[in-house]
Amino acid sequence: MSSSGDKRSLNGNENSDNAGFDGGAIGDIDVTPSHIVQPDLSDVTGARSETGRHRNGHHDDAGQPSPHRRRRRMSPEHIRRIKRRRRNRRILIAVLIVVMMIVAWVGALAYSAFRAKSEIDQAVSAASTAQHSLLSGDTAAVKQRLADFSAHVDAAYRHTASTLWTPAEWIPYYGSDVRAARDAVAIMEDVSNNAVPKLADSADSLSLNAISVHDSTISLGDLGAAAENLTAADKTIGDAAINLNNIPVTHIPQLTDALDSARTKVVTLAQTVDMAQRIANAAPSMLGLGSTDGSDEAGVRTYIVLAQNNAELRATGGIAASWGVLTVDHGRIALQDFEPYGGLSKSVPGSVQMTDSEKSFFGDDYLTYAQNVSADPDFPRTAELAATMWKQQKGQDVDGVISVDPYFLQDLLKVTGGFHSAAGVDVTGDNAAELLLHQVYMDIPDQETQDLFFGAVAGEAFDHIVGSLSGRDAALLKTVTRSVNNGHFMVWSAHENDQKYIDGTALAGDLQDNPAKPQIGLYFNDGTMGKADWYLKRESSVKESSVNTDGSRTYTVHVKVTNTMTAEEAATLPVLVRGYSDQKTGTERHGEIVTVMYLFAPADGRLVDWKFTGASAGNGEFDTVTVYSDLTAGVKGFTLQPGESIELTARVQTSAKAGAAVPTLRQTPLLKRTDW
């Protein structure tokens, strides 16, 4: 057992159970280190090498890729694709962020616009309520509503002045709408800051509790003291009205409607404040109370009162057959009796100097008769002519001229109630106009008695009215305002300091020469020489037809004139109603009505085209188109038999300076018959 061959055999046996040792002898075998025989590990090494190849080749024993593979080097194209994907991902994220920001901005802008519109709507409503409160004499409500107006406008301004709105101005097509909205609110903010406080300070002075008529005396309270504030407020609001009208046309319907509403209300407010400041500045001196600036002392003022008869048309109303004298002393008014022509000679040849335009329009001899002073459509000129005639024949300088007609009288009687005349008739707020314009000619046969009746009733009516106005101040103001706007009441002052506050208003009855305040004129003069115009029905309308490239606007004017007299009436009416074809020979008419029509274009505007149709239309043209007081005017004379009509359709262009300002139609006062 000690042979070496057995030892090798034992150590080289792979199946030997003696795989372990403890460093000592195993059985009888010597296992000291110096005698250990190193085993053959070639098979094991080979296995490891193969396993290494598996790992280096990225495959495991099953032939699958190893999860612990070594990264290969990428190609340049692969790198570019990766970078491109990363760049696109960043762009997409940025676009999404921008879109979200735009959506948030649009939402915020839409909400801001909604709030701004709501505030402006409430401001417009407050301004309207303030005006109604003023007319009712509730000054506390006026102040509150003015405060509400300012609060709402200020709130709207905070929205539109925000930088949130600025980017929207660059939006194609609709950006101009955003600018228009911001400009409109900024204009109203100016009114809120610079006009409303002055109006609030003046509210008490405008109270109808302080301005009143009692015992034939007009009291103005502290109105004169408010003149300075009202004048400043008027300047601000007047400029605002013009600036709003100059804002370009918008595209968004809701914005257009809102701007139109704001324009309308600001224009109405401007007109109200303008009239208030004019009255505050002129009324004290015109009523003999002394001027607010101390230039005129208190004392007596004397006025001619022209009673115009609408049954025989003249441009400013009707023939001025009855004249009276009104005096005002420290506010107390008194009226002397009306007389035919005020006691002047009926015929006054060569008493005044006519202009070339007047001769061209009305003929060389139209001022032969004092009653024709009202043929000129410019009432200040009518008043100057009347004052001149009065001075020449009476030797008296007057302080002004006042024009009234039976419709003004009738409207006042609706306020005070009617009265029973000494002539034996009831004169009321329903029948005064018909009584004085028609019935008197049916009941009284001769002209002299008719004139006496007219003068007596006019005087009685005046005394009744001024003695019955106490406590009816609000109704009186509404009535006078309506009569002024309809041309039934006009005033001219011989004092320049007073007249400058009347000029340019409906009270002045003048031809408007300001292009920014367009006025279309439609006037009529009668040639029948009777009172047949009671049967002449006039209808008129003005509608916008286009907006021109230069900013001016074109309007279509339609006029229809009808002789409503029947054949039976034409055969039976008194000759003083039917008139004369030749007064010198006494040749009577038989129902035909002879009229001259004048159509005036606005200042700096023009008559574009026109067409007459119907009876007496001729070739459809004006007889002449000329210039009168620097205004373009078309003139047409026509004769209508009973039942006949003539119609005019004309297009009239305003000045570009007028912007969006809607022209007023000033016309010879209409007859208001209840059976038409």
**pLDDT, position 161:** 84
pLDDT on residue 190:
92
Domain containing 201 equals 84-286
The three-state (H, E, C) secondary structure of 103-154, written as one string: HHHHHHHHHHHHHHHHHHHHHHHHHHHHHHHHHHCCHHHHHHHHHHHHHHHH
In the listed set 473, 500, 527, which residue is the last one of a domain according to the structure?
A: 500
Q: How far apart (Å, rounded) are the C-alpha atoms in residues 20 and 14? A: 13
The CATH number assigned to the domain holding 484 equals 3.40.630
End of a domain among 500, 525, 543?
A: 500
Residue at 77 is within a domain: no
User: Quick one: 261 and 341 in the same domain?
Assistant: no
Element (H, E) at 181: helix 175-194
Quote helix, strand, coil % in the chain, to nearest 5. 45, 20, 30
Is the same domain home to 49 and 164?
A: no
Residues 458 and 313 in one domain: yes
- Kindly give the parts of the chain with pLDDT less than 50: 1-35, 41, 44-58
Q: Is 73 within the bounds of a domain?
A: no
- Position 591 scores a pLDDT of 96
Structure tokens at 419: 């009265």
Looking up tokens 């790198």, which residue turns up?
79
Report in angstroms the alpha-carbon separations of 598 from 314, 626, 660: 11, 10, 25
Residue 508: inside a domain: no
CA–centroid distance for 543 within its chain: 15
Closest C-alpha to 538, from 673, 375, 378: 673
Residue among 317, 332, 335 at smallest CA distance from 372: 317
- The answer as to whether 332 is a domain residue is yes
- Whether residue 368 lies inside any domain: the answer is yes
In this structure, the answer to whether residues 555 and 629 fall within a common structural domain is: yes
- Measured between alpha carbons, how far is 5 from 28 in angstroms, rounded to an integer? 14
Looking at the structure, tell me whether residues 466 and 567 fall in a common domain. Answer: no
Q: Quote the CA–CA distance of 676 and 673 in Å, as a whole number.
A: 6
- Between CA 469 and CA 341 the distance in angstroms is 29
* 374 φ/ψ angles, rounded to the nearest 5 degrees: -85, 10
According to the model, what pLDDT value does residue 72 have?
A: 67
429 found inside a domain: yes
Nearest residue to 327 via CA among 299, 290, 302, 305:
302
User: Which residues are CB-contacts of 94 (< 8 A; sequence separation ≥ 6)?
Assistant: none
Q: What is the pLDDT of residue 66?
A: 54
Q: What secondary structure does DSSP assign to 514-544, as a single string?
A: -TTS-EEEEEEEE-SSSSGGGGEEEEEEEEE
Query: In terms of domains, do 474 and 540 share one?
Result: no
Helix (H, G, I), strand (E, B) or coil at 642: coil
Closest CA to 565 of 647, 648, 676: 676
| Structural domain contains residue 59 | no
User: pLDDT value at position 67?
Assistant: 55
What pLDDT shows up at residue 489? 97
231 shares its domain with 353: no
Same domain membership, residue 179 and residue 308: no
Q: Structure pTM? A: 0.78
- 105 and 209 part of one domain: yes
- 119 and 184, same structural domain? yes
Helix (H, G, I), strand (E, B) or coil at 603: coil
- Position 68 in a domain: no
* 662 and 632 fall within a common domain: yes
Choosing from 260, 286, 312, the residue where a domain stops is 286
Same domain, 122 and 238: yes
Total structural domains in the chain? 4
